[in-house]
Amino acid sequence: EPEVTQTPSHQVTQMGQEVILRCVPISNHLYFYWYRQILGQKVEFLVSFYNNEISEKSEIFDDQFSVERPDGSNFTLKIRSTKLEDSAMYFCASSDPLGLYYGYTFGSGTRLTVV
């Protein structure tokens, strides 16, 4: 069964450092997403991406965040200057063109710890 792959599985970084979280979505999906889950809290939407541009973003996704699809397979989330409150599990997801038929496929996540 096709999978969404995320790397690394765990990243520890110092406050103020830049991090890049990587994702390989399912190859025939056209919509890509990043979500995050702070420990013990709800899964929160960050951003959706379609046709090489952001289609929607939440208020969490401020200027410190950016997304990119540098080639035909990778989808990255960059946090420019990490803060302690960025510590969370970050999930990448992708979906079919309408997201209506098969739901969204999530990766297993990257646990980001900012110290």
Partner 1 sequence: SQQGEEDPQALSIQEGENATMNCSYKTSINNLQWYRQNSGRGLVHLILIRSNEREKHSGRLRVTLDTSKKSSSLLITASRAADTASYFCATPPSTGTASKLTFGTGTRLQVTL
CB 106 within 8 A of CB 90: no
DSSP state of 86: G
Sign of the dihedral defined by the CA atoms of residues 48, 40, 21, 66, in that order? positive
Does 98 sit near partner 1 (CB under 8 A)?
Answer: yes
CB of residue 16 vs partner 1: minimum separation in angstroms?
26
Return the number of the residue (16 or 91) whose C-beta is nearest partner 1.
91
Does 111 sit near partner 1 (CB under 8 A)?
Answer: yes
Return the number of the residue (7 or 81) whose C-beta is nearest partner 1.
7
Which backbone phi and psi does 8 adopt, to 5 degrees? Answer: -75, 175
Q: Output helix, strand, coil percentages for the chain, rounded to the nearest 5.
A: 5, 50, 45
Which residues, 51 to 70, sit near partner 1 by CB under 8 A? 55-56, 58
Does 89 sit near partner 1 (CB under 8 A)?
Answer: yes
Return the number of the residue (16 or 103) whose C-beta is nearest partner 1.
103
Does 100 sit near partner 1 (CB under 8 A)?
Answer: yes
∠ Cα 108 42 83 (to 5°): 80
Which residues make up the interface to partner 1 (CB under 8 A)?
A: 31, 33, 35, 42-45, 48, 50, 55-56, 58, 89, 91, 93, 95-109, 111
